[in-house]
Homo-oligomer: A and B are copies of this chain.
């Protein structure tokens, strides 16, 4: 699979994918003509990367996760520990999003929706994240 193809499928710009190769997050093969050739596993990694980055995971977090893909000689206990740590992070993020969601949906309910100013969203939004 060429870069345009994998970019389309993973939902990432080709530029970003080249950058990820630069910093060692993916290591596509090369065809005779010099084109990058991406395997399915590369596509999976890139999709995962795109998702993780858009959810606020750092490149270093991603690097750790990518290492799980790559280092098949890593001890299972280690893999498990890393996976667990990331589960905790995910749960925390979900909780935070849930809090944001609760606040906003509560406010949408209270907001009149007409063209009057002075929507209660403003004051409540201010209180909500103290």
Residue positions of A touching B, CB distance < 8 A: 40-41, 43-45, 47-48, 51-56, 68-69, 72-77, 79-80, 83-84, 86-87, 90-91, 93-94, 96-101, 104-105, 107-108, 111-119, 121-122, 125-130
Indicate if the CB atoms of A117 and B83 lie closer than 8 Å.
no
Chain B residues, CB < 8 A from A99 = 51
Question: How far, in angstroms, from A44 to B130 measured CA to CA in the complex?
Answer: 5
Indicate if the CB atoms of A122 and B80 lie closer than 8 Å.
no
Minimum CB–CB distance for A121 against chain B, Å: 5
Chain B residues, CB < 8 A from A51 = 96, 99-100, 129
Closest 10 CB pairs of A and B: A76-B119, A56-B56, A75-B115, A48-B129, A80-B111, A47-B129, A79-B119, A90-B101, A54-B56, A76-B112
Q: Which of B47, B96, B108 contacts A84 (CB 8 A)?
A: B108
Chain B residues, CB < 8 A from A112 = 76, 80
